[in-house]
Amino acid sequence: MKRILIICFIAFVMASCHHCAHLQSPDGTISLDFRLDEQGTPIYHVTKDGQLILDWSKLGIVSQEYDLTHEFTITHTTTNTVNTSWETVWGEERTISDQHNELIIALKHQSGLKMKIAFRMYNDGLAFRYIFPKQSPKLLTITDEITEYRFVSDHQAWSIPWLTEYYEALWDKAPLSQKDTMCSPITLELTNGGYAFVHEAALYDYPAQNLYMQDGALKLYLTPWLNQHAQVTSVKAYESLPFSTPWRMLILADDLQELTASRIMLNLNEPCKIKDTSWIKPMKFIGIWWGMHIKTMTWEMGPLHGATTENMEKYLHFAKEHNIEGVLAEGWNKGWEDWRHFSFTESYPDWDMPYLSRLADSLGVEIIGHNETGGNAADYETVLEEAYTYHAEHGINAIKTGYVAPIIRTLDGLQWNKGQSGVRHYRKVIETAAKYQIAIDNHEPVMPTGLQRTYPNLMTQEGVRGQEWNAWSRDGGSPCEHVTVLPYTRILAGPVDYTPGVFHFENPVIPTTRVHSTLMNQLGLFVCFYSPLQMVCDLPEHYMEHPDAFRFVEEVPCDWERSLLMDGKIGDYCIYARQERGGDTWYIGGITDEEARTAELTLDMLDEGVEYTMTLWCDAENADWLTRPYAYDIKEYSVKKGDKVTVWMAAGGGLAAQVRKTN
């Protein structure tokens, strides 16, 4: 790896006056101009391939102490160029390149306060953040952030509303001008045929951003603090100087392949802070979980209690027999009967943790712990050390956390989970877990922003309308389109614990609610939806109804050497190919919406001059998500680089393939 650092005038930056500066992407396709307007307000605009993307847009911060939106002067600028690469602990690819140009503009406010704005320009987008050096005063109370994206066209936006509980909503598309306040991220279909992705990176100690349209500009609305009565206040963040805001990030892509391949967000986060990462292991896991959603089991003690020693024994042996590395058990601990005070070290009488820990160890299967807080983050935070000591002593190296409450109770009182107090809590959990060599699967989270680079024990998060909605949602379950939107929206923000793999679609809870997919669609999700902790969500007995289809689930990994979007369209279909990490075998997954379609798999990613065997799981000719979801075929082909394989996907259908070198 090579890093070149230049602090001087260089070819890609020109700061020819005291009030303006210029920055280009390494390949010269994206350009940014910065200046101060007549009022001393920082403004910038962006072009791509000579076409204006963002017209002059304002930047600034408002605090109780200062109005930092105007009356600035530029004191100096510095520039850097970076061309390096780094290796992931786990991920969609092993190696990520980081090539960008950076411009840091030092500003002085008329009050004397110093502020910097750092811009980074990549070949596929840009990012910027506000930096406050150490100085007097020592504290700022942030009440607003005046960050704008003044797009020159009324682009189509895929988004969910900002106050959606746990981000569990169906994404919809409409022109930006017709959108209400949106949760970050949003994905834009540009009028020129390209795409944009607006999000943030490196959210460490600041409220999560939301986005809204006003006066022709897309603006930030920071998640506010609440007072003791859970009423909105004007305060967004309390900050001690020095501090930096999260990066404001805009990906600009010509096509969906470029959009899904962007790694700007990860590059904007700090390098890994965990010295020894050997204990962080991607894995598939099954769990005592789906039974609770279809009401054949309960979380709390009773005649249908799911997390019993007897049930866990069965799940552990099933996992061992079917190449599944872990087993989750929800409802093993006291507290589910009233949801007031959960214990994270005391089990129900019908759960023998020491025995199950020994059994799991003898089988070589991991137990995935579960810590539901009921939204009481404050209580959880006070017992983290005790809880994680207990789990580590029983060989539990991964925990699924939960915060089921519209407003969580933090050490600062009732707060939104994505406000500054919630963000601080989640980071505290991740850092504490790392001390005990425990990985985290965070449910009801704050939206991911790439923190997994810095703390790779943060392996996956929910933050999505997941599979469980297909068991009990009164609207009938998520439509077929839902899963074909997520790879281009929510999943671009980070790994997702969607919990794929339902094999039995009849629903005893609400007969009118069901999974809107064929069995092959469920297989395709294991490749299209990225998660290094990938749940195999259905009951063991349901998998044995279709053992030849389950073979794909047994063999598909969840850690990758390379990943590429083969084809797709937001809201219509998605086809991904991924190469197993450290191996030669490729896996392909495809999913479609309510429309049947033919997919052409072009195998350009294979090695030249090598023969491969493709095993293909696909919808049968008469398959349909509603009437014949279990109709599928398994085919085998001899293939090589450049071959094209045509596959039909049924309505709500999909495909899965394993492409391995022929011996």
Mean pLDDT of all residues in 590-619: 98
**pLDDT of the residue at 653:** 98
Helices (H), 383-452: 384-393, 420-435
Q: At residue 166, does pLDDT exceed 60?
A: yes
Instruction: Kindly report the average pLDDT of the chain as a whole number.
Output: 96
Q: 490 — phi, psi (to 5°)?
A: -55, -45
Q: Which helix (H) or strand (E) holds 613?
A: strand 612-619
- Tokens read off for 158: 């895929």
Q: At residue 3, does pLDDT exceed 60?
A: no
Whole-angstrom Cα distance, residue 556 to residue 578?
A: 10
Pick the closest to residue 498 from 316, 289, 333 (CA basis): 289
- Residue percentage of the chain with pLDDT more than 90: 95
186 burial via Cβ count (<10 Å: 0-12, 13-18, 19+): buried
Q: Is the peptide bond before 137 cis (omega within 30 degrees of 0)?
A: yes
Give tens-digit pLDDT for 463-490. Answer: 999 999 999 999 999 999 999 999 999 9
Q: At residue 51, does pLDDT exceed 80?
A: yes
Using an 8 Å Cβ cutoff, are 649 and 618 in contact? yes
Mean pLDDT of all residues in 579-586: 98
Q: Which helix (H) or strand (E) holds 272?
A: none
Give tens-digit pLDDT for 432-453. Answer: 999 999 999 999 999 999 999 9
Q: Is 357 helix (H, G, I), strand (E, B) or coil?
A: helix
Give tens-digit pLDDT for 85-128. Answer: 999 999 999 999 999 999 999 999 999 999 999 999 999 999 99
What confidence category does residue 510 fall into, taking pLDDT thresholds of 50, 70 and 90? confident
Mean pLDDT of all residues in 228-247: 96
Mean pLDDT of all residues in 400-410: 97
**pLDDT of the residue at 663:** 78
User: What 8-state DSSP symbol labels residue 566?
Assistant: E
619-642 burial, b if ≥16 CB within 10 A, otherwise e? bbeebbbeebbebbeeeeeebeee
What confidence category does residue 340 fall into, taking pLDDT thresholds of 50, 70 and 90? confident
What confidence category does residue 460 fall into, taking pLDDT thresholds of 50, 70 and 90? very high
Ranges in the chain annotated CATH 3.20.20.70: 272-463, 467-494+506-529+556-663
Residues whose CB falls within 8 Å of the CB of residue 564, separated by 6 or more in sequence, listed in order: 257, 261, 576, 577, 578, 605
The structure's pTM equals 0.96
- Residue percentage of the chain with pLDDT more than 70: 97
Using an 8 Å Cβ cutoff, are 135 and 118 in contact? no
What confidence category does residue 7 fall into, taking pLDDT thresholds of 50, 70 and 90? very low
Ranges in the chain annotated CATH 2.70.98.10: 13-267
**pLDDT of the residue at 570:** 98
**pLDDT of the residue at 143:** 98
Using an 8 Å Cβ cutoff, are 126 and 119 in contact? yes
Architecture of domain 13-267: Distorted Sandwich (2.70)
**pLDDT of the residue at 18:** 59
151 burial via Cβ count (<10 Å: 0-12, 13-18, 19+): buried
**pLDDT of the residue at 575:** 98
Mean pLDDT of all residues in 617-642: 98
Q: At residue 5, does pLDDT exceed 90?
A: no
Task: Report whether CATH 3.40.50.150 matches the domain 272-463.
Answer: no
Supply the DSSP string of 519-557, one letter for each residue: HHHHHHHHHHS--SEEEE-S-HHHHTTSHHHHHHHHH--
Whole-angstrom Cα distance, residue 462 to residue 446?
A: 9
- Tokens read off for 641: 């680089």
Q: Is 125 helix (H, G, I), strand (E, B) or coil?
A: strand
**Topology (CATH level 3) of domain 467-494+506-529+556-663:** TIM Barrel (3.20.20)
